[in-house]
Each structure stands twice: as structure tokens, then as C-alpha cells.
Structure 1
Amino acid sequence: MAGEPTEEPQDDSGDEPERPEPPPLAHLYGEPPPAPAWFEAALADAPERRRIDVQGAGIELLTWGRRGDPGLLLLHGNAAHADWYAFIAPLVAQAGYRVAAMSLSGMGGSDWRERYGIAQWSDEAEAAAEAAGLFEGPVAPWLAAHSFGGFVAMTAAARWGRRLRGTMVIDAPLRMPAQQAERQRQRRRPQPSRVYLSPEEALMRFRFLPPQRCEHLFVVDHIARHSLKAVDGGWTWRFDPFLFEGFTFGTPQRDLGQAQCPIVLVRGARSRLVTPALMDYALSQAPPGTTTAEVPDADHHVMVDQPQAFAELLKQALR
């Protein structure tokens, strides 16, 4: 079982998939790893935490920085949550920006719904930007989204992109509609999330999907600990395991082409999920003038592999 997948394992090269990496925290037996001073200082810059109502569901919203400064909204990937950015957002906010991160419904501290869809998540993102005051700055805000959240960002750019200064899509595996439909059909039948007797046991099982080596275990530990919740009988992961039953994917390929704001496509330079071929396909679907970037020495989870470089990339976009 994956502790908290951000995307199903996929090898688009056509080669045999690599042997899965072991859970990165297993050898720590629940003990937190040492962390550098910059990371501890970032987490000490704690966000304001609140919940907002969007179409009948409570949505978790975290904010940093002064209301009225130029804004940035951060969206996470599949089965992730707002605290994936708790060590990134302060680095950006300290440079004079208002930063918000949210948990999409069905994930993190947000409510679960009967059914989910990309368009509704796009509505949640706009409501979160409103509630965070991101439209109150001297310039329009940016939207940045990782992995599956990138599809939400594509739809947001088409639906309410006129309100944005730009949208950054980070290592989101955009595929041809027929390929995406086939992947949806091939999804494994969902099962209830496993309940662990202790948080330590759960932490020892946590791993990323697609699997990868993780040099910064202090980042992994932070993400994993904020991925857990107490339930009857123990601890389990904070996402709806039945999220994709009846899921409405929409048409992000079309939405990307109809974006009403500038687009930046980003990939981890070592990403096996977003190959150069998939990056080229996304660029072919994007509006004229779309730019691209790579995060050096990063796999799919760029904020895990290169957190400080990723924060610098966000700040460069905001300037």
C-alpha cells in the first residue's frame, strides 16, 4: 500500500518498470530525522489555518504573508494536502508575497464529497483565492499546481484565468484524451484505507508514488506526519480512498489551450512520470507564448527533492 500517492506509478518510456523503492522512513521506526536550520525556521513561520465553505464542503486553507501583497495560490497533487507547501510557502512569503495553500475536497483537512471532479476543484481553488485575499494585491495572483493538481490549474486557467497573472503547471502528466480515458478505465478498484495501530507504524509504511529515492528525509517525515489522522482503532491516511469512483475528469487538454493567462510548464529534470515526450505534448496543446522550465536534480516530487530551488522558481515567476 502506498502511504500517500500523488500519482499512480507509470513508466512512459516503455521499458520494464524499476524495482519499487522501499518506504523512505521505515528505518527510522517513527523517529523524526534531523532537519537543517532553514527548514525548521520555515516551519516555525506557521500559517493562519481556517476552513471555508465551498458548495457545501469545508475546505482547508492555509495562508502566509501580508494581505494586500502580490498573491500566489498553491495546489497539491492526488491524495496530498496543503501542508506539502508548509516549508515552501514561508520562503516565498518572506520575500513580500501573500501565499495560500489549500486542500482540495476529499484530501487533507477538507471535507469529503459524494462525487468529485476537476471543474468543482477549480471552483474550490477560486473560492480559496478569494478567501485568502489574493485578488486584493497590486497585481493579479499566480496559481501554481503540482502533479494531478496541474489538471485543476489547466481548467482554472480556462474558467477564471482572466483573474490570474499566470499559471504554473508542475510535473503534471498530460496525455492524449484516449490515453487518459484508458488510464481511468484501468484504475484499480478502490479499497478502504488501512488502519494502523500507531502513527509510527504508518510512518514506516509511507512512500511516494511514483516511487523514488528521497535525500531529504526531514521533508518526507513532515509530509507523512501531516498525512495522518486518528480514527477508531488507530491511524489512517487523510484522503478519500473512493475519490475516483464516479470522478469527472473533464478535458484539461482543451482547457490548457483555452487558458486566459500566461502558462509556464515545469518538470523535474529526472521525472519518469512527465517525460520529455509528454512535456512536448503539453506544450503543443498550450497557448502560444507558453514557456517551460526544469528543476535540476529533481524527480516528480520537485518540492521534496529541491525545496529551496523550487521556492526560488516560484519567486522568479512572481517578480
Structure 2
Amino acid sequence: MNAHRAHPPQFPPPLAPFAGAVPPAPSWFQQALADAPERRFVTVQGAPIEVLAWGATGAPGLLLLHGNSAHADWYSFVAPLLRAGRRVVAMSFSGMGGSGWRTQYSVAQWADEALAVAESTGLFDSPVPPVVAAHSFGGFVLMNLASRHGQRLGRAVIVDTPLRPPARAEARRSRPELLRSAKVYASEAEALQRFRLLPPQGCAHPFIADLIARRGLKQTTGPDGRPGWVWRFDPFLFRHFAFGRPLKELRAAQCPVTLVRGGRSRLVTPELMQLALQHAPAGTPLREVPDADHHVMVDQPLAFAELLAELVPAA
């Protein structure tokens, strides 16, 4: 996985060449998917929250949080690589994946969901407190969780989360007037061929893109009454959304923090990472996943799993 092809000037949809067929995948990936998780739901504040879990209860725990418009299966090929001697859990925030939708959302509410999932899946049953790792937008959730409940956590691992100065962050908040109903695709193959990573980047591993795209779709009925396919997230999620104060929450973290950056990330520049370090607790280490853009688990899944294995003790 060390060789990663150079990005073209533009990024075509990675699954378009496959016309809905599953791309070929290496043996390690197939073996990881064969290690199927426990799948269930945990009800939190009235909403069913999708949960995937691997490993024995009582082993050192790891909770994995995804980014915006993603879902728990973004980790279903990474978590099996970490399950030996650990209890590994991934979840989908409300409004995303297989979890229920709400009329309003907030970072703090998602943090409450994460804590409830950790409790219900036995991550606090180990002699050592669990580690929580969060990618991209999920890092804001983890900052909130670490500021309010960090004394219960072993470490917060924040992966390529784009912290910005307050004025710039406010300017980039979602604009509700731009939200619109989800597009309904006539077939699963059509939806797969339109899938792109956001923010835009290349994809050297289409078999990973296929998995997260295919498991991010669900069947529905379109406005014309015909069956179709739609992405599994609430398109109006940010219509009523409370963001929080991530810089303040990172500074108030009550547990050790590790900041992780994709070595080629265009979203989290070295300058933004330095800003995060300035607000993180004293002594916070910075790690990089070489030859990875923003979506580190897509670009370098094996290296990302190795990094997490270093940060989460195994029984």
C-alpha cells in the first residue's frame, strides 16, 4: 500500500469505469470483510443508532467515528485488522448510515450518541479506558466528547479534522437555503458511477470506494412513484444544526489527544494543523499518515490501522 498513484488535475468518479460491477480487491481486504461484525442498534434520545462491533467485550476498547455524510462501514475493512486483543466498535451518527433521522441535530448530541454506544457495547468494561478515533467532521464530535467526558477516555485521536480560526469557521458554516431533497437514482449502478469523495481527491483503491458507496445507498421510491436508489443520509441535516465551539472544546479536553494528518491532505494544511496544536492540550503529539490525502482510511488503510494499533493497547 506504499505506492500511491499521482493525482490527475481533475478527479473523475472512481467507480465510473466499473459500470456497477464490484472492482477486484486484494486478499487482505476480502479477508477483512469476511470477518463480519455484530450489527445492532442502540436507541439514544429516541433515535436508533447503527452499531458495528468486533472482538470480545472486556478487551481494551476502540470507538471509531466517521465524517460528514459517511457511515459506520467506512471502518468495516479497518476494524477487523485491529480486533485481536481489542473490542472495536464503529457507529453511524443520527441522520447518516442506517441510523434514524431527527428534526434537528448538534455536535453535542452526536457526542452523547458516541458515549451511549461506548457504554452499551462494553467499551468501559475493560480495565483500561477506551480510545476514541474520529475522522474529519467526526473530530468536532470527539472534541466535544473529550471536553465533557474525557476523564472516562484513554485518548482522543483526531484524524484530519479542519480546525479553522473562528472568523473563517463561521464563514464556512452550512447555508440552509442551499439544502435540497436527495437525488433519486434509477439504479444502484447509476448511483455508484456518480460516487465521489468529498472533498475531491483521487482514489487509488476503487474496491474501497465501492464498499463505502454501495453500503451508503438504500432503495427508495422516487417522486414519480418509481423505485430508485438514494444515499443514506438526511439531506436536510444541516437545516437545524448546532455546531459548537471546537477550538474551545479541544483546549478543554480532559484526556490525552493525538492529532493525525494525511501527509498530502489538501483540507488540513500544515498551517491548520499548527493552529490545532496551539489549542490542543500541552504535549499533544502530531502524527502523519504518509502518502494519504484527507480520506486516510481509503488512501492508506493498512498504515492507518497500524497507527491506531500503536495508540490502542491490546490485551
Residue among 61, 66, 74 paired with 1:76:
66
Residue 311 (structure 2) pairs with residue 317 (structure 1): yes
Secondary structure (helix, strand or coil) at the match of 2:116 reads: helix
Residue 265 (structure 2) pairs with residue 271 (structure 1): yes
Q: Distance in 1 between matches of 2:80 and 2:59?
A: 14
Match for residue 17 of structure 2? 27
Q: Distance in 2 between matches of 1:111 and 1:246?
A: 16
Q: Distance in 1 between matches of 2:130 and 2:166?
A: 30
Secondary structure (helix, strand or coil) at the match of 2:265 reads: coil
CA deviation string 1:250-293 (max 9, x = no partner): 10110000000000000100000000000000000111011110
Q: Distance in 2 between matches of 1:19 and 1:159?
A: 43
Match for residue 97 of structure 1? 86
Shift of 1:188: 6.3
Shift of 1:19: 5.4
Q: Distance in 2 between matches of 1:137 and 1:21?
A: 44
Shift of 1:160: 0.5
Residue 240 (structure 2) pairs with residue 225 (structure 1): no
Match for residue 242 of structure 1? 236
Shift of 1:219: 0.6
Residue 277 (structure 2) pairs with residue 283 (structure 1): yes
What is the RMSD of the two structures over their aligned residues, measured on CA atoms? 1.1
5+ long unaligned stretches in structure 1: 1-17
- Structure 1 residues 185, 84: CA separation in 2 closer, same or farther (over 3 Å shift)? closer
- Structure 1 residues 188, 284: CA separation in 2 closer, same or farther (over 3 Å shift)? farther
- Structure 1 residues 146, 188: CA separation in 2 closer, same or farther (over 3 Å shift)? farther
Match for residue 14 of structure 1? none
Aligned length: 301
Q: Distance in 2 between matches of 1:241 and 1:20?
A: 26
Match for residue 56 of structure 2? 66
TM-score computed with the length of structure 2 as normaliser: 0.94
Q: Distance in 2 between matches of 1:28 and 1:185?
A: 33
TM-score computed with the length of structure 1 as normaliser: 0.93
Shift of 1:180: 1.0
Q: Distance in 1 between matches of 2:142 and 2:177?
A: 25
Aligned-pair identity in percent equals 60
Match for residue 161 of structure 1? 150
- Following superposition, which runs of at least 4 residues in structure 1 exceed 4 angstroms of deviation? 185-188
Match for residue 44 of structure 1? 34
Secondary structure (helix, strand or coil) at the match of 1:287 reads: coil
